[in-house]
A and B are shown apart, each in its own frame.
Chain A
Amino acid sequence: EVQLVESGGGLVQPGRSLKLSCAASGFTFSNYGMAWVRQAPTKGLEWVATISYDGSSTYYRDSVKGRFTISRDNAKSTLYLQMDSLRSEDTATYYCARQGLDHYFDYWGQGVMVTVSS
Chain B
Amino acid sequence: DIQMTQSPSLLSASVGDRVTLSCKASQSIYNSLAWYQQKLGEAPKLLIYDANSLQTGIPSRFSGSGSGTDYTLTISSLQPEDVATYFCQKYYSGWTFGGGTKLELK
Could you tell me which A residues sit within 8 Å of B by CB distance?
35, 37, 44-47, 50, 59, 95, 100, 102-111
Contacts and interface: CB of A to CB of B under 8 A. Distances in A.
Interface in B58-89: 87, 89
Which secondary structure characterizes the binding site on chain A?
A: strand
A110 B45 CA distance: 11
Q: Give the top 7 A-B pairs by smallest Cβ distance, nearest first.
A: A47-B95, A104-B34, A108-B43, A45-B97, A103-B91, A104-B49, A44-B100
A105 B34 contact: yes
Nearest to A93: B43
B32 A102 contact: yes
B94 A106 contact: no
Contacts of A37: 44
26 contacts: A37-B44, A44-B97, A44-B100, A45-B38, A46-B97, A47-B95, A47-B96, A47-B97, A50-B95, A59-B94, A95-B44, A100-B49, A102-B49, A102-B50, A103-B32, A103-B91, A104-B34, A104-B50, A104-B91, A105-B44, A105-B46, A105-B89, A106-B49, A108-B45, A110-B43, A111-B43
B97 A108 contact: no
B43 A44 contact: no
Nearest to B1: A62
Given A44-B100, A46-B97, A50-B95, A104 B45 contact: no
